[in-house]
Each structure stands twice: as C-alpha cells, then as structure tokens.
Amino acid sequence: MDSDAADVHAGLRSLGADAREVRAILLTHWHNDHAAGAHSIQALTNASVYYHRADEPYFTGRGGATGARRWVSDLIPEWGVLVLAKGLLGESTPRAVSATQFVRDGDVLLDDFVVVETPGHTAGHVSYFYKPDQALFAGDALAVIGGRVRFMARPVTLDLPTARASMEKILALQPQIVCPGHREPLVIGAAAACGLMRDHIAAGGHWPLLG
C-alpha cells in the first residue's frame, strides 16, 4: 500500500466508488503493506479507524525505530515488496494513524463486521468476518495460494504457535469467502479449502518455511 493511498483510490474507482464515500477503515495489522495509506484516506474522509491496541505503537510511530534503522527505512522507496521492508525496518507505518476505537474479540462493527483476534503474525493482528456473506477478511493471518489455504511464510510470522492457533480459530468460522491480505480471494470452494487446512493443523501438520 502506498502512503498516498493511490492503490486504494484505484481500487475504489474500479468499483465505481469514490474515497469520499468511505465511512470506516478496518485495519488488520500495522504492517506497511496493509496500513500505509490509512492516514491519507482518514484525512480525506474523516472515516472512523479501527485496529487493535496491541499494534498501536506501530500505527502511531511511538514504538518505531530510531537512528540508523529509521534512516535506512526512510531511504527505501515505496515499491512492490520493498513497501513491507520499509515498514519492518522502521517498525511503523510511515504516516501515523490514530484509532477512533480499539477493537477486541467479538466486537461487531458497522452492524455486520465481527472482530476476530488473530495474533501471531503481529501481536495485535485481527481479522474481520463479514456476516452477510460469511466472508473472512484475514489480513496476514493466513495465505491463499493456488486455491488452497496455506500458512504465511515463517520468517514474517512473529509467533508461530500463536499464529497457528489463530488460524484454527478463523477456519472454524467456516467462511464461504476468504479474502487474504495477499493474492486473490478464494470465492469458489472456500469451505472445502478451509476444511483441508483445519485437518492439516489438527494433525499437527508441518509449517513450511515459505508457508
């Protein structure tokens, strides 16, 4: 995600929508590739911003890096996968965004979005379950690759056992649509794909290095 939210604007345009119609910004976790444009959209729209308190120091920059790490982070351009590297090095989103409300497990936002705490990838990672369509917005709590539900890569997972438990938790929701933070959403055969991954985890299945 770009700090100026250019990609969000492009996405909204493709839906025939305008950023000024945005009422709420639901953030899964602080990583740059998911949150860098939040400040820009919030400033434009005055939309409410939701995230978990445990990620707050990174969203606001208060827990961010200083000195050499910050200097290197500031030098990295916002381009492709470098966007994530930039955030990880700086340990914060480049433009701070404050929460209107910290979310907790079981909160229901905007009548239809259930907050599901899914720590592991980051300490404050949450997923959002959109009840009307049984659609899971999983952020980086899981990956979808080639129509299959997979683990995220191990090197970008802060706490592996916790992340594994979080995956079990969201797969148990039996979503009909899975929207991961990366790659394409899973809209056909999602229930079966989630079932396969649940079985894998329940059997103590291996977590490959790259997910």
Task: State the residues that interact with Zn ion by CB under 5 A.
Answer: 31, 33, 140, 181
Of residues 64 and 181, the one with the C-beta less far from Zn ion: 181
Of residues 31 and 95, the one with the C-beta less far from Zn ion: 31
Element counts in the chain: helices (H) and strands (E): 8, 10
CA-CA-CA-CA dihedral for 102, 108, 114, 117, to nearest 10: 30
**Angstrom distance (rounded) from CA 23 to CA 15:** 16
Least CB distance from residue 139 to Zn ion, whole Å?
7
Of residues 61 and 181, the one with the C-beta less far from Zn ion: 181
DSSP annotation of 182: S
In the chain, the amino acid numbered 155 is P
Least CB distance from residue 202 to Zn ion, whole Å?
25
Q: Are strands 101-102 and 108-109 parallel, antiparallel or unpaired?
A: unpaired
Least CB distance from residue 69 to Zn ion, whole Å?
18
Measured in degrees and rounded to the nearest 5, phi and psi for residue 81 equal -65, -15
Least CB distance from residue 20 to Zn ion, whole Å?
26
* CB-nearest residue to Zn ion: 31
Of residues 36 and 193, the one with the C-beta less far from Zn ion: 36
